[in-house]
């Protein structure tokens, strides 16, 4: 079982719709969860991080964490063509600095 699992996509949504990206993780001791956005040929950039159960909102982005189900998600409201990118889920193991990434979900926002 992979430590961090994501559907590779592509996930296609029309402009203005809500995009929902999902991630599961295997280590129950994980404490911190991150969503990075990566444009082709570029370095990842942090979109959201969360470490408490529930929702965390920042502008058009909402991160959701359910530690009992070992599940973290990212919602993008009012999706724009500029949101088209690969979204990487990352998990930091508790007590250590190891950060593990999923394979990423490619999002395509159709104008």
The site for other proteins (CB under 8 A) is made up of: 6, 8, 31-34, 36, 42-46, 49-51, 88, 90, 92, 94-104
The partner residues of 38 in beta bridges, in order of sequence, read 86
Nearer to other proteins, 82 or 97 (CB): 97
**DSSP one-letter string for 24-74:** EES-TT--EEEEEEE-TTS--EEEEEE-SSEEEEETTEEEEEETTTTEEEE
Number of H helices, E strands in the chain: 0, 11
Shortest distance, CB of residue 41 to other proteins, whole angstroms? Answer: 8
Q: To the nearest whole angstrom, how small is the minimum distance from the Cβ of residue 16 to other proteins? A: 27
Tell the smallest beta-carbon distance from residue 82 to other proteins (Å).
Answer: 20
Closest to other proteins by CB, 17 or 38: 38
């Amino acid at each position: 079982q992979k430590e961090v699992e994501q559907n590779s996509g592509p996930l296609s949504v029309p402009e203005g719709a809500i995009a929902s990206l999902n991630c599961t993780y295997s280590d129950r001791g994980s404490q911190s969860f991150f969503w990075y956005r990566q444009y082709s040929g570029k370095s990842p950039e942090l979109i959201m991080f969360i470490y408490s159960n529930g929702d965390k909102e920042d502008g058009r982005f909402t991160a959701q964490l359910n530690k009992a189900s070992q599940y973290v998600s990212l919602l993008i409201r009012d999706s724009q063509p500029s949101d088209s990118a690969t979204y990487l889920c990352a998990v930091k193991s508790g007590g250590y600095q190891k950060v593990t990434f999923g394979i990423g979900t490619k999002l395509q926002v159709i104008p």
